[in-house]
Structure 1
């Protein structure tokens, strides 16, 4: 299934993305929230490898099975807080760009819960997750083998 193996990837490519992951990990954002962002972008992009990885990581963070299984239909469920919902609206909008600016209807509610610094980190998390999804979709990494680091 893999088109490009880990050994085929140019030296430094993944390593250059790692500092961005470290920056996100050290940000003031809650790890469960960044995990939901990553899982949601992966669902929207149909990236099986990343869906598997982020599902396992969120389980490790004690996220509930109900919320994990409902994230793909989050707008129709009561399981996500208003704070999470405003982030998920932005996640969906930035993951499936329609060629238009992000509307005030999507951006302004973020200000009720997050500082501008935090919104920058949220945006970076969404963008970085989309980058990984596109790499994995192209490389064809096999889902199911990811193990969470303890």
Structure 2
């Protein structure tokens, strides 16, 4: 077993040792959907950002949630290639592009072109909610990834 296969700090340990941080992140994450952001769109954003950041725990967690919400399998299967997949609405594509821009900041910030593109499909308030979601999942990725939280894999379904 490689070191990448073992948790450094478990999700449960983090949750119990750092309840203030845990609750703050949960509250922040929930604020976007409570504010009106569509839950399915929020999950697509969380999945895409977690793909970019390589966070297995968050990918599995949000895939489990997305499936329970009934998000189309094609969207889940093709999310990594959403630009070319042809299954995402213009609004979803704008949100995913905004998520990528905010996740891949690399010292250059977010361009006016990126801002204009997201605002074509989302109001200023909706853009705030998208940005809260993106910021929160990036934070979770930066906690779960280095600690190597073990993914929460659902029990195997029998066919």
TM-score scaled to structure 2, two decimals?
A: 0.86
1:2 paired to 2:19: no
Partner of 2:125: 117
Shift of 1:146: 6.0
1:82 paired to 2:112: no
Aligned pair in 2 of structure 1 residues 11, 61: CA closer, same or farther (>3 Å)?
closer
Partner of 2:67: 59
Q: Which runs of 5+ in 2 are unaligned?
A: 1-5
**1:53, 1:146 within 8 Å by CA — same for their partners in 2?**
no
1:13 paired to 2:18: no
Pick from 96, 101, 104 the counterpart of residue 104 of structure 2.
96
What CA RMSD, in Å, does the superposition of the two structures yield over aligned residues? 1.6
What is the distance in 2 between the residues matched to 1:58 and 1:12? 26
What is the distance in 2 between the residues matched to 1:30 and 1:83? 11
Shift of 1:74: 0.5
TM-score scaled to structure 1, two decimals?
A: 0.90
1:130 paired to 2:135: no
**1:95, 1:130 within 8 Å by CA — same for their partners in 2?**
yes
What is the distance in 2 between the residues matched to 1:63 and 1:22? 19
What is the distance in 1 between the residues matched to 2:98 and 2:44? 12
Partner of 1:32: 40
**2:29, 2:132 within 8 Å by CA — same for their partners in 1?**
no
1:71 paired to 2:79: yes
What is the distance in 2 between the residues matched to 1:146 and 1:49? 12
Query: What is the total number of aligned residue pairs between the two structures?
Result: 147
Aligned pair in 2 of structure 1 residues 142, 58: CA closer, same or farther (>3 Å)?
same
What is the distance in 1 between the residues matched to 2:154 and 2:24? 21
